[in-house]
Amino acid sequence: MTGVRQDAAGGWFHSVGVEDAADVSAAAVRDRVLRAREDLAEAAASRNGSAVREAVDELEDALAMARVNGVVVADPPTADAAPAGESDAERA
């Protein structure tokens, strides 16, 4: 459950409702972000607008959960990134 809350300094932020408790494990949060990224890629490939919107919402919620809980999530790989163990020279 997400929502918008105001912090003590008067700033607004997205919250993740009951899931923002300290007992949320970093691994579970990272897994949720990874799954959400995979789901978004599949939805984009399907060209289904409503599936893309739902996938974007889930990814935003997962990233908000990571932020709220101080979980560092790696950036997604870029399309031009070399596979593990492959150098730029090997790709050329």
pLDDT at res. 77: 78
With respect to residue 77, please indicate whether it lies within any of the assigned structural domains.
no
With respect to residue 51, please indicate whether it lies within any of the assigned structural domains.
yes
Under the banding of pLDDT at 50, 70 and 90, the label for residue 33 is very high
Task: Give me the domain span that covers residue 58.
Answer: 22-70
3-state secondary structure 5-38: EECCCCCEEEECHHHHCCCCCHHHHHHHHHHHHH
pLDDT at res. 31: 93
With respect to residue 83, please indicate whether it lies within any of the assigned structural domains.
no
pLDDT at 2 over 50: no
With respect to residue 28, please indicate whether it lies within any of the assigned structural domains.
yes
**Number of structural domains in the chain:** 1
pLDDT at 19 over 60: no
Residues of the chain with pLDDT > 90: what percent?
48
With respect to residue 26, please indicate whether it lies within any of the assigned structural domains.
yes
Q: Minimal CA–CA distance to 74: which of 23, 21, 37, 25?
A: 37
Cα–Cα distance between 44 and 34 in angstroms, integer? Answer: 15
Can you give the length of the chain in residues? 92
Residues of the chain with pLDDT > 70: what percent?
59
With respect to residue 31, please indicate whether it lies within any of the assigned structural domains.
yes
Tell me the average pLDDT of the chain.
77
